[in-house]
Amino acid sequence: MNTNQVYHVGDVTVTRVPELILDSNTPEYLYPQWDPSFIQEHEKWLVPGNMDKTRTHVFQSIHTWVMRTKRHTILIDTGAGNDKERIWIPRLNRLKSPYLERLKAAGVTPAMVDYVILTHLHVDHVGWNTQLVDGAWEPTFPNATYVFSKAEQRYYSDPENYPANNRVKFIIYEDSVRPVIQAGQAEIIEPNGAEFLEGISLYPVLGHSIGQMAVCLTSGGKEALFGGDVMHHPIQVYRPEWNSVYCEDALQARASRRWALDYCADRHALFFSSHFAETSAGRVTRTDDRFVWQFC
């Protein structure tokens, strides 16, 4: 897995640090509105980089983004993590990935990270918040402030939101979120589009989860958007009305996706995805009344 692709947004550099590739989801599963005719129309870019040659499974990535400004080293989301009990997702159960070695290859050690910005608190976005040390979960990034939405924290910390037979999200909170709060390293916010750090603003993009937020970057007259899970695959650039099976509020998810697509197209902003395969980054443009995707 390549960690060497470095993007420049003004004076800021952005590097992808990969964790793993997912290839088990069928498009019919991922998108309940799936129309097989989509493949014929878009086969040139779908196969083989974003869908397997049998046209039966889509490719997705789990990775994080490292943003390095003049003042800060910032990690956007933290992937799935090692040693976590995830028996309901066998592919993520008790991982032993070399993620930290890949982070080091990108020029960053855990102690160098100043901020960890979590777009939302799902299993594949918070895993490396913590690591197992002598049987206990400790923050992986000892000098970092972990930033996440108050709505997410409120919802996922409340056991009343989980029936007895489905405590999955509570388990994730307990091993990957609560320890950073207990360590005094959390900054829990209400994203409203205001500048959080110089050139960095956090916008609510609800729908996929109850309090998801996007990270907007402006530097040197250039812009970028880290969209979290407003989209899971480039398919949704062309079909923004299609929600993934993982979206919690259909209407809000579609509105947030449209906002992100308009933002990128109108501002010529780079889009840094959470789950697109290939480079995971690219640009959105408009052709007539439709959007078009191009990897960078």
Q: What is the CATH number of the domain that holds 126?
A: 3.60.15.10
Dihedral sign of CA atoms 256, 262, 268, 273 in order: positive
Domain of residue 203, residue span: 6-295
Find residue 292's DSSP bridge partners.
Answer: 285
- 3-state class percentages of the chain: helix first, strand second, coil last, to nearest 5: 25, 30, 45
Report the share of the chain in percent with pLDDT over 90: 91
- Whether 186 is in a domain gets the answer yes
How many helices (H) and strands (E) the chain has is answered by 9, 16
- Whether 27 is in a domain gets the answer yes
Dihedral sign of CA atoms 28, 30, 32, 35 in order: negative
- pTM assigned to the model: 0.96
DSSP state of 128: G
Tokens of 155: 């919802």
- Whether 198 is in a domain gets the answer yes
Q: Tell me the three state secondary structure of residue 38.
A: helix
- Whether 220 is in a domain gets the answer yes
Q: Tell me the three state secondary structure of residue 45.
A: helix
How many domains in the chain? 1
DSSP state of 101: H
DSSP state of 78: -
pLDDT digits (tens, 9 = 90+) for 262-290: 999 999 999 999 999 999 999 999 988 89
- Whether 1 is in a domain gets the answer no
pLDDT digits (tens, 9 = 90+) for 102-132: 999 999 999 999 999 999 999 999 999 999 9
Residues listed for the chain: 296
Q: Tell me the three state secondary structure of residue 210.
A: coil
pLDDT digits (tens, 9 = 90+) for 68-88: 999 999 999 999 999 999 998
Tokens of 106: 């990108």
pLDDT of residue 163: 64
